[in-house]
Amino acid sequence: MNNLRFSSGGAGIMAVRVLSDNFAFVVGRVGEAVVVDPGEADPVIRVLDEEGLRLRQILVTHHHADHTGGCRALKKRYDVPVAAPQDPRIADVDMTLEDEAMFTLCGLEWKALATPGHTRSHMAYYLRAADALFTGDALINGACGRLLDGTAAQMLASLRRIASLPDETRIFGGHDYLSENMRFALRVEPDNADARARLEAYGDARSQDALFALLREEKKTNPFLRTTSDSIRCLLNMKQADDVAVLAELRRRKD
């Protein structure tokens, strides 16, 4: 499947395939663009050239190289700043962003949302005008990221924060893991018809709407957003456990 294109709220959003299974996101408006998580520079450069867009800003969700690997080359080529959460592991940063920071790029209002769990400093970026949330490795098409230097309690709080956004928010996660994630969802909740339909939609048509679902679909299909599900709790034999423990067990089984 090639790069994927969405349009909403006056912004064009292109999911650019980089590395083996990552996405960088080019958000363009009126000839200008922001790129989120450029794990590799060359595919982003090609899109900018093909679309006639001038890069204005780089946004980074977290420090991992598959989300930052293209920053230095893009910064050098276009002389643009890099904005990221406070974390010394992220190089070449010009601006650090605090939780709930509001800022304007390409005439669009953005909001930074702290979403730790995958890493302790993970950040997501909310673009309300386009009903879009760029979630990095916090929420990835039907699952959440591994708990590396964050905790299950942090991840649960981050996922609940994401779940509080409008249901029509489209979720742009940083990887193409949908088939694997929906198969796992059906292992822990075999009677989930919505998860089965999402898997079938992607498998049959390689549907970009299945890959980057609306938040309301994530709530129906993503087991990490469904820690209160009786079906999941029964299968895990955790009927009386708290939600943090359920999420931790789901993540252990997914790992």
Strand, coil or helix: what is 250?
helix
Helices 178-188 and 243-254, axial angle in degrees (round to 10) = 120
Q: Give residue-wise pLDDT tens across range 8-56.
A: 888 999 999 999 999 999 999 999 999 999 999 999 999 999 999 999 9
C-alpha closest to that of 27 among 18, 36, 40, 19? 36
C-alpha closest to that of 47 among 80, 82, 14, 12? 14
Which structure tokens are listed for 247? 């999420």
Those residues with Cβ within 8 angstroms of residue 27's Cβ, 6 or more apart along the chain or in another chain: 11, 12, 13, 14, 33, 34, 35, 36, 106, 108, 127, 130, 132
Q: Is the pLDDT of residue 204 over 90?
A: no
Domain-wise residue ranges, the chain:
4-254
Strand, coil or helix: what is 193?
helix
Residue type, 131: D
Q: Is the pLDDT of residue 1 over 60?
A: no
Q: What percent of the chain has pLDDT over 90?
A: 96
Residue 203's pLDDT is what? 79
171 pLDDT band, cuts 50/70/90, is very high
Query: What is the pLDDT averaged over residues 224-231?
Result: 98
Q: Give residue-wise pLDDT tens across range 176-201.
A: 999 999 999 999 999 999 999 999 99
CATH code for the structural domain at 4-254? 3.60.15.10
Rounded to the nearest 10°, the torsion over CA 83, 101, 161, 67 is: 0
SS (H, E, C) 63-97: CCHHHHCCHHHHHHHHCCCEEEECCCCCCCCCEEE
Q: In this structure, what DSSP letter does residue 224 have?
A: G
Q: Give residue-wise pLDDT tens across range 100-150.
A: 999 999 999 999 999 999 999 999 999 999 999 999 999 999 999 999 999
